[in-house]
Structure 1
Amino acid sequence: MTEETGSKSRSGSVQSIERAFGLLEVMADAGGMLGLSQLATASGLPLPTIHRLVRTLVDLGYLRQEPSRQYVLGPKLVRLGESSSRMLSVWARPHLAHLVDELGESANMAMLDGDQIVYLAQVPSRHSMRMFTEVGRRVLPHCTAVGKAIFSQLPEADVRELLQRTGMPKHTENTITDPDAFMAQVHGTQEQGYATDEGEQELGVRCVAVPVPDVPSRLAISISGPAGRMTEALVGRAVPLLTEAAKSLSEDLR
Structure 2
Amino acid sequence: MADVSICFVENDASRARSGGVQSVERAFGLLETMADHGGSMGLSQLATASQLPLPTIHRIVRTLVDLGYLRQEPSRRYALGPRLIRLGESSSTMLSTWARPQLTHLVDELGESANLAMLDGDQIVYVAQVPSRHSMRMFTEVGRRVWPHCTAVGKAVLATLPARTVHEMLQRTGMPQQTEHTITDPAEFGRELARTADRGYAVDDGEQEIGVRCVAVAVPDAPSKLGLSISGPTSRVTDDLVARAVPLLTRAARDLSEELSGQARA
Could you tell me the TM-score, scaled by structure 1's length?
0.86
SS at match of 1:13: coil
2:191 equivalent to 1:184: yes
Deviation digits for residues 154-207 of structure 1 (CA, Å, limit 9, x no counterpart): 122332333333333333332222222222221111111111111122222111
Counterpart selection for 1:90 from 88, 97, 121: 97
Farther-moved stretch of structure 1 (164-173 vs 112-121): 164-173
- Aligned position for 2:5: none
Counterpart selection for 1:220 from 219, 227, 231: 227
Relative to structure 1, the CA distance from residue 152 to residue 41 in structure 2 (aligned partners, 3 Å threshold; closer, same or farther) is: closer
Relative to structure 1, the CA distance from residue 140 to residue 58 in structure 2 (aligned partners, 3 Å threshold; closer, same or farther) is: closer
What pairs with 1:171-210 in structure 2 (closer than 5 Å)?
Answer: 171-210=178-217
8 Å Cα contact 2:35/2:121 also seen in 1: no
Relative to structure 1, the CA distance from residue 168 to residue 69 in structure 2 (aligned partners, 3 Å threshold; closer, same or farther) is: closer
Deviation digits for residues 98-120 of structure 1 (CA, Å, limit 9, x no counterpart): 10011111001111222222111
SS at match of 1:171: coil
Counterpart selection for 2:61 from 49, 54, 60: 54
2:80 equivalent to 1:73: yes
What pairs with 1:21-170 in structure 2 (closer than 5 Å)?
Answer: 21-66=28-73, 69-170=76-177
- Which letter maps to 2:60? L
Relative to structure 1, the CA distance from residue 160 to residue 39 in structure 2 (aligned partners, 3 Å threshold; closer, same or farther) is: closer
Q: Distance in 1 between matches of 2:89 and 2:55?
A: 32
SS at match of 1:97: helix
Deviation digits for residues 70-91 of structure 1 (CA, Å, limit 9, x no counterpart): 4433221111112112211111
Could you tell me the TM-score, scaled by structure 2's length?
0.83
8 Å Cα contact 2:36/2:121 also seen in 1: no
SS at match of 2:21: helix
- Which letter maps to 1:78? I
- Which letter maps to 1:185? E
Q: Distance in 2 between matches of 1:195 and 1:69?
A: 39
Q: Distance in 2 between matches of 1:36 and 1:174?
A: 39
Q: Distance in 2 between matches of 1:131 and 1:88?
A: 21
Farther-moved stretch of structure 1 (35-44 vs 22-31): 35-44
Relative to structure 1, the CA distance from residue 103 to residue 68 in structure 2 (aligned partners, 3 Å threshold; closer, same or farther) is: closer
Q: Distance in 2 between matches of 1:141 and 1:29?
A: 14
8 Å Cα contact 2:38/2:169 also seen in 1: no
Q: Distance in 1 between matches of 2:176 and 2:37?
A: 25
- Which letter maps to 2:98? W
2:241 equivalent to 1:234: yes
Relative to structure 1, the CA distance from residue 10 to residue 235 in structure 2 (aligned partners, 3 Å threshold; closer, same or farther) is: closer
Identity of aligned residues (%): 74
- Which letter maps to 1:213? P
Q: Distance in 1 between matches of 2:116 and 2:203?
A: 15
- Aligned position for 1:19: 26
Q: Distance in 2 between matches of 1:172 and 1:247?
A: 32
